[in-house]
Amino acid sequence: MEFISPTARWFNDLALTPIDRLLISHRLKELAIGCEACKTQYLRVCIKNCSDAIQIWSVVQQVTAPRCALLTHLEKCWRSPEQPDML
């Protein structure tokens, strides 16, 4: 049983499709972040610190963001600081 500190906060307003909910909950469990996939369309996640919040945001973006947005972000990450911003 995982200990959840009293300062941890549970959020359950992530409305997702069943497949997205399954993918996200599986990945968050791999990252040892508390989450529960409700029978409705919501995913309940526990945010204990800033790192958890960033990881949750990142996992949700990987699953739900449009492919073109992910590609644009990846291209920006690959670009060296000397290259001009062409996007």
Other C-beta atoms closer than 10 Å to the C-beta of 80 total 5
Q: Is residue 41 part of a domain?
A: yes
Q: What local confidence, expressed as pLDDT, does residue 87 receive?
A: 52
- Provide the residue-wise pLDDT of the chain in tens; the chain has 87 residues: 344 455 567 665 667 888 888 899 999 999 999 888 777 778 888 888 889 989 998 999 999 889 999 899 889 888 866 666 655
Q: What local confidence, expressed as pLDDT, does residue 68 receive?
A: 93
Q: Is residue 86 part of a domain?
A: no
Question: Domain span at residue 45?
Answer: 9-78
Q: Is residue 87 part of a domain?
A: no
pTM: 0.70
Q: What local confidence, expressed as pLDDT, does residue 84 receive?
A: 60
**Spatial distance between the Cα atoms of 87 and 77, rounded to a whole number of angstroms:** 12
Number of domains, the chain: 1
Q: Using alpha carbons, list the distances in angstroms from residue 24 to 36, 51, 58, 82.
A: 10, 16, 10, 36
Q: Is residue 73 part of a domain?
A: yes
List the CATH number of the domain containing 52: 3.30.70
Q: Where would I find the beta strands (DSSP E) of 1-87? A: 9-15, 35-37, 42-47
